[in-house]
Amino acid sequence: MTLSITAPSSGRTHQMADAWRRQTSLRRFYAVLGVALLLVAMFTSIWFADEANAGHFFDRLPHILDFLSWLVPKDWNDVWRALFDIASPHDTGTQEFNFPLGRSYVWGGFYIPEYFELMLTTVNVALVSTFIGFIFAVPFSFIAARNLTPHPVLRLVVKRFMELLRAFPEIVIAGLFAAIVSAGPVAAIIAIGLHSLGALGKLFYEINENIDMRAEEGLRAVGANWFERVRFAGLPQVMPNFMSYTLLRIEINVRISTIMGAVGGGGIGEELKLSISRGFGAKTLALVLLLFTTIFIIDQFSAWVRRKLVGEQAFLMGA
């Protein structure tokens, strides 16, 4: 059979071409409009941010290097000395070089350097709060999942509650509990823990809603109750994803806990804030180095474990 292409009547071709042209030009118009609006919003925002700032961008730009100059220590060895609390020969009795003061002795002459202890506090705050968030988020997420919920009304209540916790500014929770359990790491743990509960709960119930329900059907058929169905049909399917998101949450929580420290939650954040605001070059560099290394190690470790748990899927959404 020979293949014959029948050309459409030229009137119809024109019609189609016109429709296509109209469609593309409309789409192009929307794209240009969108980009233009975005640019206007961007430049207005830049102007607004600059206007509202204490120092203006172009006034301050030449002084950026001044700001870097205090950061460079007179003696680079001071960075190590600050990090490990070793007395500096430049010590003049000021706070800038009082490195050995922070030592906390554990056993005879063996001590934990101050910054390592502070870093440990920050990491512990992140770990404990992630744990609290995880423990509550697991049952909540099964209640909030459309396919597994014991009751639709309960589902709605739990879902709204988690949304509220997720959006609630952490510093307010921290501030509230600072007035109750005294300012410090415990208030930060409660605040970050509650926030993690909301954030993890949302991610978890979205995973739950996508599970294979055949296992659940099987358990239902043999008369399993809600707890048994969740435990034996739900959990095994979702656990790798849960763990992956929890590890991701640990990464985020270490950062939040650092910031919380800077506003009175204890840990390394406070020391960093003081050190930068007073212009202690060596101390700042030591702190930044320690913080950077810790976060980097935690990130890489968590990425490695997550890749083992769920493969490349863990990195697709960056969530």
Question: Is residue 64 at the binding interface for other proteins, with CB under 8 A as the rule?
Answer: yes
Gap between the Cα atoms of 188 and 170, Å rounded: 8
- Tell which phi-psi region holds residue 120, choosing left (phi > 0), alpha (psi between -120 and 50) or beta: alpha
Among 19, 36, 37, 41, binds other proteins (CB under 8 A): 41
Among 19, 32, 154, 181, binds other proteins (CB under 8 A): 181
CA-to-CA separations, 172 to 110, 136, 166, 175, 226, in angstroms, rounded: 39, 21, 13, 5, 36
Question: Is residue 19 at the binding interface for other proteins, with CB under 8 A as the rule?
Answer: no
Stretch that binds other proteins, among 6-14, 94-102, 103-111, 209-217 (CB under 8 A): 209-217
Question: Is residue 237 at the binding interface for other proteins, with CB under 8 A as the rule?
Answer: no
- When the beta carbons of 230 and 272 are compared against other proteins, the nearer one is 272
Stretch that binds other proteins, among 2-10, 75-83, 149-157, 173-181 (CB under 8 A): 173-181
∠ CA 125-301-211, rounded to 5°: 85
Query: In angstroms, what is the minimal distance from the CB of 77 to other proteins?
Result: 22
Instruction: Name the phi and psi angles at 222, rounded to 5.
Output: -90, 10
Question: Is residue 31 at the binding interface for other proteins, with CB under 8 A as the rule?
Answer: no
Among 83, 119, 247, 256, binds other proteins (CB under 8 A): 256
- When the beta carbons of 233 and 256 are compared against other proteins, the nearer one is 256
Among 27, 104, 106, 169, binds other proteins (CB under 8 A): 169
Gap between the Cα atoms of 159 and 176, Å rounded: 23
Query: In angstroms, what is the minimal distance from the CB of 94 to other proteins?
Result: 19
Range 278-317, binding other proteins (CB under 8 A) = 288, 291-292, 295-296, 299, 312, 315-317
Give me 232's structure tokens: 């034996």
Q: How many CB atoms lie within 10 A of CB 306?
A: 23
Residue 50's contacts (CB-CB under 8 Å, 6 or more residues apart) are 56, 57
Three-state DSSP string of 5-71: CCCCCHHHHHHHHHHHHHHHHHHHHHHHHHHHHHHHHHHHHHHHHHHHCCCCHHHHHHHHHHHHHCC
Query: In angstroms, what is the minimal distance from the CB of 7 to other proteins?
Result: 26
Question: Is residue 164 at the binding interface for other proteins, with CB under 8 A as the rule?
Answer: yes
Range 69-108, binding other proteins (CB under 8 A) = none
- When the beta carbons of 88 and 142 are compared against other proteins, the nearer one is 142
Question: Is residue 186 at the binding interface for other proteins, with CB under 8 A as the rule?
Answer: yes
